[in-house]
Amino acid sequence: MAERAVRSLRTRLLAWYVGTSLLVLATVGVAVCWVTWQSRVSAVDAELRVQARRVSGAVRARPGGAFDVELPSDATAYFQQARPRTYYAVWTIRGRLVDQSRPDLGLPAAPVSGARTRGASREVIVGDGELTVLVGRQIDDVREELWSLAGTMALAGTGAMALALLCAWLVASRALAPVQRISETARRMAGGELSARVAVDRTESELGQVADALNLAFDRLHEALERQSRFTADASHELRTPVAMLSAEVDWVLMRERSAAEYREALEACSRVAARMRGLVQSLLILARADSGELSVSRERVRLDLVIDQAVESLRQLSLDRCVRVESAMMPVTVEGDSERLLQLVTNLVLNAVVYSPPDGLVRVALTLEGNEATVRVTDRGIGIEADDLPRIFDRFYRCTSARTCEPGGAGLGLAIAKWIVDAHHGAIACTSEPGCGTEFVVRLPAHQAAGRVPGTGPPPPAPGERAVQGLSRV
């Protein structure tokens, strides 16, 4: 199909080319013939004028109103030549015919002065006050010469046209070959061959840029499709384990009649698994909606120190259970953003710090205003992250090997969501870590304003228009 489209494009291009060239050639040909004709006719007129003067000079008036015409010998020879046939006629001013070189001239009366074409002849009429002299000459030779010129030009034009057509065909084929390659690649891509790319090195000039742009788009598409299928596969994989646990638990309970305590224990186990699945599904939903652009972040003034307080408070029971101390030191800093999402961000970071800390561990959360940036630091003295793992911790479903044994095990989505939230707030997130010593996450967000308080003196109440966080939605 691509080939057919290119062929029709090439045919159309050639048709335009041929049409335009023919028009130009015809115009030039007609112009050349016209100019040649005009110049030849002018030459004939000049020649006839000379002869007319000779004839006029050869007329002698005789007494009694008669005239003698005595032409010099070369003029006589001129008017007797067979080809081109020449002639003259002389009239008095009153219109009486004095003399004519041939009796069959068919000139009834003296014409007015000037030059004219009559039939196959050119005639010049000159009046000198007493006489009117007409000298004529057949111009077949001029016409033949012109036809021969037109023929030669038509022949040369046809040859040039054929040669130009051949060249145009080759050039058009060469120029359109990349278009064919591009559409062929796009067709293969649409047919599912995601690795198909346009061969850019064989694609010249502007089409090379088009091919580059298309290849980039194909790369993006390929990546997006791969990411999507990896996401689906990972999500199914992550959901398979809790579903299997749920099913095993229910099967076990239904095998025979159980005691009330056993039923309670089984239901509690199911509830825990369901809670984990709910968290996972929520995370998946957030990322899927973020990918499709459906998830937006609101823009309101949010007291980040209150958000952090809220997050730390929500994790108090977990940190107590794990004997991990969480300390916070915060300046009152306001940012512009979505309080729910910011709470989610801080919760994910503090939760990780608690989960990946050993018993009796210490987690510090600090909020400062650095320049015009609200800076949140979450530091722990936990298991740390290997240098090889560091670049990948924000990838979806990525879990470091060292973290796999930690309970409660996550699905590797917390940091991916955190990164998305930071990006949506035009901020930056970074992590430094030393295996076995601890980890620090630093989040920088554009600050809205600072209330100028020293850390540790307790947060002031929210300013009018600022939002305190009401609830926590944990992932």
Tell which one of 178, 361, 382, 427 touches ligand ADP (CB under 6 A).
382
Q: Which two tokens stand for residue 373?
A: 């940036």
Per-residue binder mask for ligand ADP (CB under 6 A), 431-470, x = binder: --------x-------------------------------
Tell which one of 127, 136, 178, 412 touches ligand ADP (CB under 6 A).
412
**Residue type, position 157, single letter:** G
Tell which one of 400, 443, 445, 447 touches ligand ADP (CB under 6 A).
400
Sole residue written with tokens 């000049």? 46
Indicate the residue among 19 and 409 with the shorter CB distance to ligand ADP.
409
**Residue type, position 295, single letter:** L
The interface region with ligand ADP, picked from 134-142, 158-166, 337-345, 404-412 by CB under 6 A, is: 404-412
Indicate the residue among 86 and 439 with the shorter CB distance to ligand ADP.
439
The interface region with ligand ADP, picked from 49-57, 58-66, 323-331, 413-421 by CB under 6 A, is: 413-421
Beta-ladder partners of 59: 69
In order of 127, 365, 411, the CA distances from 51 in angstroms are 13, 119, 114
Find, among 429, 470, 417, the residue nearest to 306 by Cα: 470
Residue 361 in the binding site for ligand ADP (CB under 6 A): no
The interface region with ligand ADP, picked from 59-67, 84-92, 302-310, 378-386 by CB under 6 A, is: 378-386
Tell which one of 110, 280, 415, 469 touches ligand ADP (CB under 6 A).
415
Tell which one of 411, 422, 429, 445 touches ligand ADP (CB under 6 A).
411
The interface region with ligand ADP, picked from 58-66, 175-183, 242-250, 406-414 by CB under 6 A, is: 406-414
Residue 422 in the binding site for ligand ADP (CB under 6 A): no
Instruction: Say if residues 406 and 356 touch (Cβ distance below 8 Å).
Output: yes
In sequence order, the 6+-apart residues with CB closer than 8 A to the CB of 358 are: 381, 382, 383
The interface region with ligand ADP, picked from 63-71, 215-223, 408-416, 442-450 by CB under 6 A, is: 408-416
Tell which one of 376, 385, 421, 445 touches ligand ADP (CB under 6 A).
385
Residue 356 in the binding site for ligand ADP (CB under 6 A): yes
Residue 354 in the binding site for ligand ADP (CB under 6 A): no
Q: Long-range contacts for 191-195 (Cβ within 8 Å, ≥24 apart)?
A: 194/218, 194/221, 194/222, 194/225, 194/226, 195/222
Find, among 111, 86, 113, 116, the residue nearest to 101 by Cα: 86
How many residues in the shown chain lie near ligand ADP by CB under 6 A? 22
In sequence order, the 6+-apart residues with CB closer than 8 A to the CB of 304 are: 330, 333, 334, 335, 342, 367, 374, 376, 445
Residue 363 in the binding site for ligand ADP (CB under 6 A): no
Q: What is the three-class DSSP state of 349?
A: helix
Binding to ligand ADP (CB under 6 A) within 319-348 occurs at 348
In sequence order, the 6+-apart residues with CB closer than 8 A to the CB of 1 are: 187
What is the C-alpha radius of gyration for the chain, rounded to an integer number of angstroms? 51
Half-sphere CA count of 324, side-chain side, radius 13 A: 27
Residue 322 C-beta: closest distance to ligand ADP, Å: 13
Tell which one of 398, 449, 451, 468 touches ligand ADP (CB under 6 A).
398
Binding site for ligand ADP (CB under 6 A): 348, 352-353, 356, 380, 382-385, 393, 398-400, 403, 410-416, 439
